[in-house]
Amino acid sequence: MADGPFRFQQGAGQFFFNQQNHLPRNLQRTGSPVTSGRVGFHPDAPSPNRSPGPQSPAHNPFGMYNQPHAQQGQHAMLNGNSHQRFAMQMNLAKFQQQHQTHQHQNHQHPQHQDHSAHSAHGANFGNHQHTMSGGLTNATPHFAGNHLQNGTPGSVHSSLSKPPNEHWGLQLQYAQHAREMTMSHSHARNHPSTNKSIVSGQTNGIVKEEKEERHRAAKDAEKDDGQIWKALDLGGQNLKVLSPALFDYTFLTKLYLNYNKLTFISPAIGRLRNLRELDLSLNELRTLPPEIGMLVNLRELLLFDNNIETLPYEMGSLYQLEMLGIEGNPNLDEQMKNIVVEHGTTELIKYLREQAPGPEPPAERDWVVLDDTPVTPEDKFMVLSYNILCDRMATQSHYGYTPSAALAWEHRRDLILQELRARESDIICLQEIDSESYNEYFRGSLAHDDYKGVFWPKARARTMTEREAKLVDGCAIFYKNSKFILLDKQLIDFGNLAINRPDMKGEHDIFNRVMPRDNIAVAAFLENRQTGARLVLVNAHVYWDPAFKDVKVVQAAILMEQIQKLTEKYVNWPACLDKAPYRYANGDKDGETEPPEPPPEPAPSQVYTKVEQMPLVLCGDFNSTPDSGVYELIAHGQLSNDHSDLGTYNYGHFTKNGMSHPFALKSSYSNIGELSFTNYTPGFTGVIDYIWYSTTALNATGLLGEVDKEYMQRVPGFPNYHFPSDHLALLAEFTFKGRKEKKTVEADFGPQRERR
């Protein structure tokens, strides 16, 4: 069913609530879980299950359940005795042969005929709730003014007539249940972990339908973080405001604020991003904050019996929402209400998502200066690294919170090109760029900006037809032709190199885990036309799956091994003699009629005698956080053979002797403690992209900074209208370190030299 499952099943988690029937005005601080001890039974005590409070429909003379007879249109669970519950919309004919008496704790009550002294009856029975007594056979149901218990007119669809469809029928069942939860902590009291009378697997008349979640990313919320309780029930407390401290409980997965007097919800609700159930029913809400769109893990959002007039478009981000309870909001926008009535929750969320105008553009990312020592433009260069999210992977099933217009490749590729041009980087490294996009869009477009490119697709493209191979992504390097000369280019195919290593032949783990992952890296050997300085540039994309940390480490080890071999070859590379760039007679740029001034005479190629002297920049998407084995290997130059990321797998010399490389590499963003994130989605937010540089030959002088913090408060994930990929573009500026040479310095003895 489109409107999803019901919530109450055993094993859903521990609740935290103060186990009292009447709480003082000043609530006690909720600091730890209550004990599992059970309160002794008292004959005048209210039912711990569904007995209503004084303001509930059972005792409200204007409520929809109150009639001038004892018959009440609802069975209830009374002190542990579970009865079948009938929903409002069921045909009354089904009730005609029901039992004519009412049982309470094995004691028979005769049918009450006179309810003129109803207040006295309430005094005798406290919060006791009546059940059906059989009078409906010949009686006409009576509802006073079609009002709910908080005085709000109900929907025309909430009458006893048959609901128009299945999902609206389920909506009415949810609403019916919400109107019964009028005691303090009703949700907690009805949960199997606290109410032993509820049998595991039963859902009080509403069956939960399991929904398979495909393409589900590993979420931090699903890990065992040691938190004992993750559900909080503050229902029925007459709360008018919520303490800001509540929104520090970011571990919460269920929050019940029903049957209070809340008139607004703080924007800080957007911090509770692990919430799966949020009940705001039976309050006095008129609006919802846009930040509620940050709760992308929500499955149920219940807003029954409020005064909400419209829903924020930001709720279109709630792509996993299965039940949106809107019944009992008489002033709700008619179009929104009709969508839910006719098509269900999913269709309304889609409508809000597609009609959303999008957030305001963020402020420009700051430029962080690391070293302001003056250098000539020829001695510095900038490198941009960007996983642009290939079109094949940008689907609604992966990014359900993103409007289809923002996911469209035509929109995203134009936005990517705009950013590449705006950054004016000397070198651009792109990951997840497919063959078709490289050949038919980016290569030609960037050629107008003085870029030349190198590209290889992943290894699988070799086994496909030409048409299929166009959609295979790979890695591309673009460089400014006026500044660099391409001396060499190489493909680093991790899987192919692994299976051809002598020490790994016969290793089953290589064939079963490493070889099927066709990730690659692309290397380019460049020379600065003016200074003669050389540079090894590598663009890599490591396997993504968190369950294959060992594969990531092996790919990184093979990568560093191949970079070492290439650098050993490049230190002996012959000098470049022809450095003049090709130019058109009338200039390179459109509209340029006069030939530009000839550049200064280029310097000869610099000579490098050791691998450690060669400038090296390694960038890409490593799909590894700073606490991973991949990061440790690259940053520290070695990794033990018993590192936890390797598990118990066997990978030849790597798992026998460990891994190492000779380069002194540093993440450029580690100079500011890394960014807050480089990949931003609801399922994962963290740093997995890097620009590494050799500290022996290069200095990092500047970085592109963080995304606007205020903007991020309303954006649940990338991509969106302003960020075309789920990754951030990284940009770093470097300078070549000066080559130290011994010079003869003549001593200066001041005026004494004039005596000669």
Length of the chain, in residues? 756
544 conformational bin, left if phi > 0, alpha if psi -120 to 50, beta if neither: alpha
Beta bridge partners of 255: 232, 278
| Residue 49: half-sphere exposure toward Cβ, Cα within 13 Å | 18
3-class secondary structure, 175: helix
How far apart are alpha carbons 266 and 56 in whole angstroms? 27
Q: How far apart are the first and last CA of the chain?
A: 104
How far apart are alpha carbons 227 and 81 in whole angstroms? 33
Query: 233, 434, 473, 621: which is the annotated catalytic residue?
Result: 621
Tokens standing for residue 614: 């060669």
Pairing verdict, β 679-680 and 520-528: unpaired
How far apart are alpha carbons 413 and 107 in whole angstroms? 74
In the chain, the amino acid numbered 45 is A
Dump strand ranges (E) for 319-459: 323-325, 367-369, 380-387, 427-434, 451-457
Of 340, 305, 303, 301, nearest to 323 by C-alpha is 301
Q: What is the DSSP letter of 548?
A: G
Pairing verdict, β 229-233 and 484-493: unpaired
Kindly list the distances between the CA atom of residue 702 and the CA atoms of 229, 530, 705, 746, in Å, as whole numbers in the listed order: 45, 22, 9, 37
- Sheet architecture: strand order including 277-279: 14-16, 229-233, 254-256, 277-279, 300-302, 323-325
SS3 breakdown of the chain: % helix, strand, coil, rounded to 5?
25, 15, 55
Q: What is the DSSP letter of 270?
A: G
Tokens standing for residue 331: 């002033």
In the chain, the amino acid numbered 692 is W
Tokens standing for residue 509: 């783990």
3-class secondary structure, 163: coil
Q: How many CB atoms lie within 10 A of CB 735?
A: 17
Of 525, 526, 528, 506, nearest to 515 by C-alpha is 506
Cβ proximity of 509 and 569 under 8 Å: no
How far apart are alpha carbons 68 and 76 in whole angstroms? 20
Is 621 known to be catalytic?
yes
Kindly list the distances between the CA atom of residue 393 and the CA atoms of 390, 407, 441, 726, in Å, as whole numbers in the listed order: 6, 10, 18, 11
Active site (catalytic) residues:
621
